[in-house]
A and B are shown apart, each in its own frame.
Chain A
Amino acid sequence: NAGVTQTPKFRILKIGQSMTLQCTQDMNHNYMYWYRQDPGMGLKLIYYSVGAGITDKGEVPNGYNVSRSTTEDFPLRLELAAPSQTSVYFCASSQQGASTDTQYFGPGTRLTVL
């Protein structure tokens, strides 16, 4: 059981470039999330998904897009990267309806936009 995996681990982008952050979970969880974490700021929810084909905006969705075609995968797309998107990105999953609906996190992707 690998849990939640994310690729790449690190990436440097130039302003205006685009990229996709990959996230896969093997726990058959229905809910998946994308967060960004800036120093001293906690976790901010970007997008979430309650199941394949269903996504919705979180607290800070501008500049990002997501899709969820399968239960396992939830990629995050950055279009026209900006320095304000320099952050650590975490993908997480949870099984709603479970007793604690614990969110399980991946190891993160460190993104720098120059």
Chain B
Amino acid sequence: QKEVEQDPGPLSVPEGAIVSLNCTYSNSAFQYFMWYRQYSRKGPELLMYTYSSGNKEDGRFTAQVDKSSKYISLFIRDSQPSDSATYLCAMKGPDSNYQLIWGAGTKLIIKP
């Protein structure tokens, strides 16, 4: 079993829809949770960063962490064609200074 599971998609939705992207993980020690966005033929860039449980909102994006279920989500409201990208979740525990554990990434397509 992988430490982090993420459905690779692709996930195709119409413009304006609410998008839900998810990751599950097995290591209960993970405390730091990140979502990176990767456009085609580009490097990943940090989108959202969350410590421990709860929600964090930034514009149209909301990151949610449920540590009891070992489940994290990224919600995108009013999705735009420019949101089309691959979204990778990443996480790490308190004892790791450097190593992120990555999900496989979900390819998202927003249709105009």
Contact = CB atoms under 8 A, between A and B. Distances in A.
Nearest to A49: B98
B59 interface: no
A92 interface: yes
Contacts of B41: 107-108
Contact of B42 (A40, A42, A48, A107): A107
B99 interface: yes
Interface majority SS (helix, strand, loop, mixed), chain B: loop
Interface stretch (B43-51, B63-71, B74-82): B43-51
A4 interface: yes
How big is chain A's contact interface, by range? Answer: 20 to 34
Contact of B88 (A43, A50, A107): A43
Q: Which 5 A-B pairs have the closest CB atoms?
A: A105-B43, A42-B102, A42-B104, A43-B102, A102-B46
Given A31-B98, A40-B104, A42-B105, 5 more contacts: A40-B105, A42-B4, A43-B88, A96-B97, A108-B42
